[in-house]
Structure 1
Amino acid sequence: MPNFNFKDRPDDARLRITQAQYPDTNITTVQTFLSLQYAYRTIQSQYEAALSEFDLSESRFILLMFLYRAEDGLTVSDLAQKLGVTKATTSKLLRAMTTAELVEKRPDAQDKRAVKIHLTVAGTKRLTAFLPVNFQTVNRLLGNLSESEQQELEQLLNKMIAPASGEKD
């Protein structure tokens, strides 16, 4: 799907026309949803730019963080579960990261048939070089919100995702 970042969002008049055709249209909900999408795309684009300066993707960064905190490495299954993706997707990601010498496979000390994934020295260096930029970027992206506004936003976002995750608000 193309990465559209449209700025021509429907105004009240256009939404009223849509509502006349589709009575279930809630104008406030549609406007809020479109604003949320626009905010997400804007923030994501700026965050991806910061990641790309270090030849990282969001998935690579998250995987590096999981491994950074795992003293004894993690299995492919562990990483797939933590990422919320399939083992095949994780394996593909790990192949690219192994080629880039960010991670390596080592035999599991407890089970010689199994392997665990570990950060390499180069992977640790890349991650620790990116972390200050990561936090600076996040601070810049959310810097227009006060601490209480950030807390309120987090509560609202959690309330929004609760039905999708099967939770109650």
Structure 2
Amino acid sequence: MDFMDEYAEVMNKYAEVEVYNGFKRGYTGLSITYSFTSRDMLWLEDGVYCFDQEERGKVRRGGVFNSPSIDLTQKVMLNYTVSILRHTLGFERLGLPIEEDELPSGWSMERNRYLEYVSLKGPDDVKLEFNTGEARYCVPLAWLYDVSPSELLHAYMLPDGGPLLRRWLGRPYVR
């Protein structure tokens, strides 16, 4: 959970949003408040980590993304919120490919009978397990399975994404 403290410190200092790390205080959630009416949440529910936007004071059960892996869930949260940080730092928007047809060779998405995304399968029997109804929350994970959330945060804090993102993308990926 060290990354949660690091993320809160960076976002509070540079991104002009309020991040409250309840995990540090023994609670089961982290909140990112953008304004009086807009907030994202990362929380632990029934043994899985969930991420979603709070709407009218509530978040949907299981969130829009959930995984038993805190690492994957933190990366989803970071990828979802990093544009705010980069904008505040005066950098161009930088992101990972988010369409299913942009998956690298050897990767595929698995869906369940309800058409939700349930995992990504990759080379060397890599399998990233999660549950979401939105491809944009899962496709970037294919590129990030052996990168820590902290490494990713620091790469995003460089104007062009630095060597880490160039390693994965071959070039800066500007949207």
TM category (shorter chain) comes to under 0.3
Larger strand share, 1 or 2: 2
TM-score by length of 1: 0.22
The structure whose Rg is larger is 1
- Say which structure is richer in helix: 1
